[in-house]
Structure 1
Amino acid sequence: MAAHAQGSLFDQTDEIRLGPLTDVTRTVLGDGAWIDLLPGWLGGADALYEELASGVPWRAERRQMYERVVAVPRLLAFYGERGDGSRDELPHPVLTEARDALSTYYAGELGEPFTTAGLCYYRDGHDGVAWHGDRTGRGSREDTMVAILSVGAPRDLVLRPRHRHGTVVRRPLGHGDLIVMGGSCQRTWEHAIPKTTRAVGARISVQFRPRGVS
């Protein structure tokens, strides 16, 4: 099932490890929304990609789209909380470390920990996700955060204002890059991974969210 990911010339280690969060750079988007970016937060990202691509129990989904059922153009996995309050074990220890590090770093702004992890596997340029905001849960009415760690080949994450014309923000993410969407971002902005006809390698994104945000 594992698709090929183009390796990074800058990530030449197989040691899977996180760097510090001290070099996070914030960009204010407007309307109370912002993004934080830290390229290459995870070292050994290509090695982690290989482990996740072959070891995660990926599932394909189909969804109702108007009058027909269509295949979701990516593979999915989800790690959440159980009824007893415990959490599903993440597929690699470094992801648990990443979730805990993000919870600590953003504790003052977020006020709660990241608890869930959703994984998306974009196998090639035919896979993507349309414009959306994470507004199914509390993100529809509250400021919150969604942190995304990307491994594998870079794909563009694009953002645009939801209710007005404005500049589209584009960030290529892969090879251990971190982006955090915060403030009102899920309500006032939309984001997408556009499909592409260009030859691109596979990418896996790991989305950390607080409880009740989806």
Structure 2
Amino acid sequence: MGLSLWLVPSPLEAKKLGFVINSQRKDPSLSVASYPKFYPHITLASLPQSLETELDKIAGSIPTFDAHAPLRCYFDQVKIGDHYFRSVYVAIKPTREILSLYEEVHQRLGLEPRCPAFPHMSLCYIDDADAINGERDRFYDELRTSAVIGFKTEEPEAVQLNCGSEGTNNWVDNFKAHEVWAVRCEGPVESWEVLHKIPLN
């Protein structure tokens, strides 16, 4: 995988989203690669691993946002994907601000954009072998039947996630982009390493 740039929420918002992303109980019959724990994120860029030695250059490619006008990432739809890293994910609304950030970062680094289904936030990673047996569909159906996925009254086509614990309701339909992380994505997901954190405000 190499090096990735992640657009991440604050620890408080990440904790809420973690009730959905990291709450799945692992069935021992599934692959060890299915349902690893990971920090909620939108992949902003996939970089060559050689840039690990140029973290200052990467940090310089990230524009900042006014604290009074932060970058917000709004949820659009929950989808079932056909790739391990897009097993079941939230499609994020492609607002002008988030698309401009995506284009500007790639332009400053001199790279061609290559983030499939940008922007999105994965809810789980499920091994292809388990997906063939319907595990991605099962996970999505469980979100629907347990009312984790809801729809906004004022915007029926847009989803929200119930991030409450122990039967409580805590509906979330967006998060504020807090930082960009440079992450070494090599080996098992839970061994990935955050190399640098770049504030956005």
* TM-score after normalising by structure 2: 0.28
Point out the structure with the larger strand share: 1
Larger RCO (CA within 8 A; separation ≥ 6): 2
Point out the structure with the larger helix share: 2
* TM-score after normalising by structure 1: 0.27
